[in-house]
Homo-oligomer: A and B are copies of this chain.
Amino acid sequence: MRTGRLEAFSDGVLAIIITIMVLELRAPHGASLGALRPVLPHLLAYLMSFVYLGIYWNNHHHMLQTCRRVTGSILWANLHLLFWLSLVPFVTSWLGETMPAAGPAALYGGVMLLAAIAYFILQQRIIADQGTDSLLKRAVGSDWKGKLSPPVYALAILAAFVTAWISVGLYVLVALIWLIPDRRIERVLAGETD
């Protein structure tokens, strides 16, 4: 199987996931701007999930560019990742509706943790298939962001039962870490390799 169709299918699913989330933003019951207030947490939860899915789409795309062929295990590892990401609209909707409740904030982290693990498994399947001189392995490098995210998600899940705002803060933090380009760090690392 060529990677083209896997990429197109994943893009389709990600585009749909990112867009149907907006269906959870129901029109407020009143007609005044004040009626928007209960929609606000939904909107913020939507924004956070939109950024997460954008990051996944971006990283997924770069990962697949190093990939020349699609084996059965890569295909199912990819569907496994899409499964957890497809639950993002559900947990986003619950988080937006109940903020700041412990359960939904913890579940959001749970889905994020499982998606991160699924992403890691997919990465390992591609590296294993590429053999000893894996292009992806070199591209991923130390992958400190990928290694940092799961423990932060785990921490956020626990923190949810203290106060949900801490865990949401941690989710925002992880998103920011992925968003901000780390050229300085890359240069440092590049310097160390010299």
Contact = CB atoms under 8 A, between A and B. Distances in A.
A164 to B, nearest CB: 10
Contacts of A107: 33, 36
A16 B7 contact: no
A1 B54 contact: no
Interface residues of A, number: 58
Interface in A1-25: 1, 5, 7-9, 11-20, 22-25
Given A23-B23, A90-B27, A83 B47 contact: yes
A86 interface: yes
A87 B106 CA distance: 27
B27 A93 contact: yes
A15 B18 contact: no
A165 interface: no
Copies of this polypeptide in the complex: 4
A119 interface: no
Which secondary structure dominates where chain A touches chain B?
Answer: helix
Contacts of A5: 7, 11, 61
Given A18-B82, A25-B90, A31-B101, 14 more contacts: A12-B16, A13-B18, A15-B16, A19-B20, A22-B86, A22-B89, A25-B87, A27-B94, A27-B97, A28-B94, A31-B98, A31-B102, A32-B101, A50-B79
16 contacts: A5-B61, A8-B11, A11-B12, A13-B19, A17-B22, A18-B82, A20-B22, A20-B23, A22-B86, A25-B90, A28-B94, A31-B98, A31-B101, A31-B102, A32-B102, A36-B103
